[in-house]
A and B are shown apart, each in its own frame.
Chain A
Amino acid sequence: MRGHLKDEEIISYIYGEGDGTPYEEIEEHLRVCPRCFRLFRELKRSAELLDELKREERSVVSDRHLRMFYDKLRKFRARRRLRLALAFSGLILILGSSPFWLDMLSFRGDRGTPPAMATNLPVSISDVEIEYPDCKLVVTLTTEDPDIDIVWVFSEK
């Protein structure tokens, strides 16, 4: 004869969702073990109490809730567009201004040749693509090395 039943076994038996000990074995044990039977009864009573709550609940949903949702969705999309625009502006600033200012700082000597961003850039933007509705910004950069292209993907996710 085995020891006492595990809590999980009693729970499986109460809810009829066991995949281990056969129910006959559990029933047999409950018949002869007062301790396990007490626990079984206690758990079953608590479970029955909770079932009362299930009967009580009734809930409704109206078009107002759907309108609230669409308002929220609109605000969310607006925020996302703003964030994307900011990210894009930041990118332009980083790619454009930094080399230009670096050029300006390092510009010495021949005053007749002003720094030219396009010619001194180690990389250049070859493609910018905005994907909707995923709201993804894909920027492809071409480097001086023809074998190396850089693809940046900015996404909400």
Chain B
Amino acid sequence: MVKSYKRVRPCGERSMLSDEELVKRFISGEEKAFEELFFRYYPVLRRFVAKVMPRQAEDIVQEVFLKVYRDIKRFSPDKGSFKTWIFAIAVNLTVDEYRRMRRRLRIFRPLKDEAFELPDKSHAPDEEVIEKERHSEIERALKMLPLEQRQVLMLKHLEGFKFKEIARILGIPEGTVKSRMARGLKRLREVLDERAFEG
């Protein structure tokens, strides 16, 4: 079934106002400012969360915005950007949900995250399909990394944060971020090599 929406906004469509200005306006009672932030960050956050929890991504991101709506007054630009702040919320909620899911999986069946499985492979000899297949392979490898390494890799490569910002989001020292990054990249290569060797 094809779903159609009244108005679809690509994530690139933005007003000229900075996040911090929008936050200020929202605090002073301008609801539209919140909606602007919502449209600005919803796709980015959903993409980020879906890398860890594809099925729950929508719910988690809604929860993130609920928290932002309630706690917006706690945001302080002196401690970092709004983007860093909202990602920190997303990371915390995702980790909580991830842990809850692991506990459930441990209780009911051996740990094999079916939530992480991707759709079936397609073998059409098309360049685009081959590229997609390659991306799926990288994604699968990424999902086999420990969560702490995966988060750092994603925040750096998908969201383009600086190491200092990642450190702030995760609440760890910058040196730890860099060592996780190195371990994650090494492990990613190992996993890809193993998979290539297997099949």
Contacts and interface: CB of A to CB of B under 8 A. Distances in A.
B138 A69 contact: no
Given A11-B178, A63-B7, A69-B65, A50 B47 contact: no
Contacts of A11: 178-179, 181-182
A46 B142 CA distance: 11
B11 A59 contact: yes
A12 B138 CA distance: 23
A68 B62 CA distance: 8
Contacts of B156: 15, 50
A64 B5 contact: yes
Interface string B15-28: 00000000000000
8 contacts: A8-B175, A11-B182, A45-B189, A50-B142, A52-B135, A54-B158, A59-B11, A59-B43
B66 A69 contact: yes
Interface string A1-40: 0000001101110010100000000000000000000000
B21 to A, nearest CB: 20
Indicate the size class of the contact surface on chain B: 35 or more
Contact of B179 (A7, A50, A53): A7
> Chain A: interface secondary structure?
helix
B152 to A, nearest CB: 10
Interface in A33-86: 42-43, 45-47, 49-54, 56-66, 68-69, 72-73, 76
Contacts of A46: 185-186, 188-189
Contacts of A42: 185-186, 189
Contact size class for A?
20 to 34
Interface of A: 7-8, 10-12, 15, 17, 42-43, 45-47, 49-54, 56-66, 68-69, 72-73, 76
A60 B182 contact: no
Interface of B: 5-11, 35, 38-39, 42-44, 46-47, 58, 62, 65-66, 69, 131-132, 134-135, 138-139, 142, 153, 156-158, 160, 162-164, 175, 178-179, 181-183, 185-186, 188-189, 192
A56 B185 contact: no
A69 B11 contact: no
A139 B132 CA distance: 61
Nearest to B65: A69
A16 to B, nearest CB: 10
A10 B181 CA distance: 11
B42 A61 contact: yes
Contacts of A17: 162-164
Given A53-B157, A59-B43, A69-B65, A7 B11 contact: no
B138 A49 contact: yes
A72 B62 contact: yes
Contacts of B42: 61, 65
A53 B50 CA distance: 13
A12 to B, nearest CB: 6
Which 4 pairs across A and B sit closest by C-beta, in order of nearness?
A: A7-B182, A59-B43, A62-B5, A46-B185
